[in-house]
Amino acid sequence: MIETRIVVRNNGPYRIEGDNIIITDEAGRPYGLAGRTVVSLCRCGTSATKPFCDGNHNRVGFQSQCEALELPPPKPKP
Ligand code: FES
């Protein structure tokens, strides 16, 4: 299995690293990534190129410090 990693950048985007990144819109159409193995997705909501980060988080002073945590187990499905 090829590992894909998502790094939550403090005060910035989600950085996705992987050899075969696939990002689709809601209809399942893939975004053309031009062979990139690293892309950043906007986390601040102000990018003009959503879902991709365009660096605007710096201009708007986006603040969000995130630290890894453990999620509770998923609830059983009925
Ligand atoms: S996180 Fe970079 S523009 Fe939103």
Element holding 56 (H helix, E strand): helix 56-60
30 backbone dihedrals φ, ψ, rounded to 5°: -80, 145
Query: What is the reported pLDDT for 6?
Result: 97
CATH, domain range 1-64? 3.40.5.90
pLDDT band at 1 (very low <50, low <70, confident <90, very high): low
* Nearest ligand 1 atom, CA 41: 1
- pTM flag (> 0.85): yes
For 8-45, write each residue's pLDDT tens digit.
Answer: 999 999 999 999 999 999 999 999 999 999 999 999 99
Closest CA to 66 of 15, 32, 30: 15
As a whole number of angstroms, the distance between CA 51 and CA 35 comes to: 17
Question: Which residue's CA is minimally distant from atom 2 of ligand 1?
Answer: 53
pLDDT at 59 over 80: yes
Environment class of residue 53 by beta-carbon count within 10 Å: exposed (0-12), middle (13-18) or buried (19+)? buried
Give 50 Cα–ligand 1 centroid separation in angstroms. 9
Question: What average pLDDT does the segment 70-78 reach?
Answer: 95
